[in-house]
Amino acid sequence: MADTFTGLKEQIVESPTDKVISKVKELINSGVLKPGDKLPAERKLALEFGFGRTQVREALHKLEFYGIIKTLPQSGSVVNGLDINTLDGLISDVLNLQSYDFFSLVETRVLLETNAIRLCAERWTDRDMRSLEKAHANYLRDFDTSNRIGSDFAFHRTIAESSHNPVFKAMLMIVIPDIMTIYQRDRICAPNPDVMNEHQMMMDAIKNRDGEGAARIMAQHLQGVLDFAKSKLEENNN
């Protein structure tokens, strides 16, 4: 009950930084700021918006991080040369930045991992294979210890690394921790011997350069998590 209230509160409260971002968004949508324009100085924005410069700076940092503006030291900040619709969508996303629902996270993970392992099977180098075998051995070693989950994750991370697509890897690194947090909170996953076998089958498929086969095993491997997420989804919408 208390959780419900605090949860609602968190959604309602809008941090000063986000308010500043909203103001910038208005500036862009109203046409005052066009892509490519140099936006006013921090002090000016702070005065105009009625916030402190600290809040404005933090907002600009966030906007720069998302590639919406580019800020040059001792010179000023510039709105990136994207079109207005794109900017509007991007800023909206920065603001929403909600915690995603579990099912969508898992769905994304499955997509990324099945394709990461496919590319891994096609592209691995000798160096990759050494890392993969080491990660696999570590998992077997830690299977009966408290490190099992960590080594499991490390194995998957190594696969993503060996896909030679850093974007895949980066996105997996965003998604998986969220999943693990929820997973650990709601259900302790008992040591499952099937997982060990599936890891072994993945290794074999990768070694044989069998991308499709590896992807199939990975999909099966993650089916359990997907089912769990789906049941959660049907159970209640949280």
Partner DNA sequence: ATATTATTTTTGGTTGACCAAATTCAAATA
Partner DNA sequence: TATTTGAATTTGGTCAACCAAAAATAATAT
Give the interface segment with DNA, choosing from 45-53, 105-113, 129-137, 178-186 (CB under 7 A): 45-53
Q: Is 168 in the site for a copy of itself (CB under 8 A)?
A: yes
Number of residues that bind a copy of itself (CB under 8 A): 49
Examine residue 111 and tell whether it contacts a copy of itself (CB under 8 A): yes
Closest to 196 in 3D by CA, of 130, 141, 146: 141
Residue 75 binds to DNA (criterion: CB under 7 A): yes
168 binds, among DNA, a copy of itself, none (CB under 5 to 8 A by kind): a copy of itself
Q: What angle do CA 138, 141, 145 make, to 5 degrees?
A: 110
Among 24, 77, 124, 169, contact with a copy of itself (rule: CB under 8 A): 169
The gap from C-alpha 131 to its chain's centroid, in whole angstroms, comes to 23
Rule CB under 8 A: say whether 67 interacts with a copy of itself.
Answer: yes
CA distance 44 to 36: 19
Nearest to 225 by CA among 168, 173, 174, 184: 184
- In the list a copy of itself, DNA, none, the entry touching 71 (Cβ below 5 to 8 angstroms by class) is DNA
Cross-strand partners of 156? none
Interface residue with DNA, options 77, 114, 158, 163 (CB under 7 A):
77
Pick the closest to residue 209 from 113, 128, 138, 154 (CA basis).
128
Q: How near is the Cβ of 21 to a copy of itself at its closest, in Å?
A: 14
CA dihedral (226, 105, 161, 188) positive or negative: negative
Report 25-44 residues binding DNA (CB under 7 A).
40-44
Does the footprint of DNA cover residue 19 (CB under 7 A)? no
181 binds a copy of itself (CB under 8 A): yes
Determine which helix (DSSP H) or strand (DSSP E) holds 166, and give its type and residue range. Answer: helix 166-186
**Of the candidate residues 19, 40, 84, 200, the single one contacting a copy of itself (CB under 8 A):** 84
Looking up tokens 């998302």 gives 66
Give me the helix-helix angle, 102-123 and 166-186, nearest 10°.
140
Contacts of 173-178 with C-beta under 8 Å, sequence gap 24+, read: 175/105, 175/108, 175/109, 175/112, 176/109, 178/99, 178/100, 178/105
Chain Cα centroid distance, residue 205: 27
Measured from the CB atom, the residue of 48 and 186 that comes closer to a copy of itself is: 186
Q: Could you list the residues that contact DNA (CB under 7 A)?
A: 16, 40-44, 51-55, 57, 71-77
Q: Could you list the residues that contact a copy of itself (CB under 8 A)?
A: 58, 61, 65-68, 80-86, 89-90, 93, 98, 100-101, 104-105, 107-108, 111-112, 115, 147, 149-151, 153-154, 157, 165-171, 173-178, 180-181, 184
